[in-house]
Amino acid sequence: GQNIDQPTEMTATEGAIVQINCTYQTSGFNGLFWYQQHAGEAPTFLSYNVLDGLEEKGRFSSFLSRSKGYSYLLLKELQMKDSASYLCAVRDRSSSGAGSYQLTFGKGTKLSVIP
Amino acid sequence: DTEVTQTPKHLVMGMTNKKSLKCEQHMGHRAMYWYKQKAKKPPELMFVYSYEKLSINESVPSRFSPECPNSSLLNLHLHALQPEDSALYLCASTPGQNTGELFFGEGSRLTVL
């Protein structure tokens, strides 16, 4: 995945809804992932999109438009524990290994949930 | 068992030391990865092993030497590191190299003095 772009920081209120956008430019697209990472911890998997449309999983939803190179992560009913970095990652054809795919992460969006 | 376990959790080493980071998974995954993450930066891919063979090396300096003794284990041997190599080293696995989401270990935080 190359040129993965997402906002650096966002702030939202407890109980509200927040949308984190991600745009990408890549070749050999093979899926888009969202991960959550709390400070000092490893990333944890949230969602995966490979076809256009919306995937819903509890309070989290993720949307993909392959033609627009665009995805968003929607978090509903925000809780204080949702304060974390959210990483958009794209799996695409690797330049380092023939026939291989690799996952490349965006810089992440630091979400702060305030009371 | 859906865990990827990494040891040690913390490591401090001098520039002349030789040490190793270890990673283990028992999910039957056939692809394993090493990522490096500096503070406030995203994880950066270092190596990918697929079916115990090195599949991707992202032009990593030779002072980092990966090893995959079997399908459940992945090591990263460290020698003559530099202070700028201090980072969180994350191991991850997937069912196959091109399928499924990455399952990450908790990471090994390395400090090079």
Residues B57-95 pLDDT 10s = 888 999 999 999 999 999 999 999 999 999 999 999 998
Rounded to an integer, the average pLDDT of A4-9 is 96
Residue A1 has pLDDT above 70, yes or no: no
Question: Is there a contact between A33 and A89 (Cβ–Cβ < 8 Å)?
Answer: yes
Summary mean pLDDT of chain A: 92
Rounded to an integer, the average pLDDT of B40-67 is 93
DSSP structural state of residue B19: E
Listed residue (A73, A107, A97, A94) closest to A1, CA to CA: A94
Please answer yes or no on whether A104 and B45 come within 8 Å at the CB atom: yes
Query: What is the residue-wise DSSP string for A2-67?
Result: EEEE--SEEEEETT--EEEEEEEE-SS---EEEEEE-TTS--EEEEEESSSEEEEETTEEEEEETT
Which residue type sits at B71?
A: S
d(CA B113, CA B110): 10
DSSP structural state of residue B109: E
Question: What is the percent of chain A where pLDDT is above 70?
Answer: 93
Please answer yes or no on whether A96 and B59 come within 8 Å at the CB atom: yes
Which residue type sits at B80?
A: A
CA distance, residue B98 to nearest chain A CA (Å): 6
B7 near A CB under 8 A = no
pLDDT for res B34: 97
pLDDT in tens, A10-23: 999 999 999 999 99
Query: Which of A45, A91, A108 faces B42 most closely, judged by CB atoms?
Result: A108
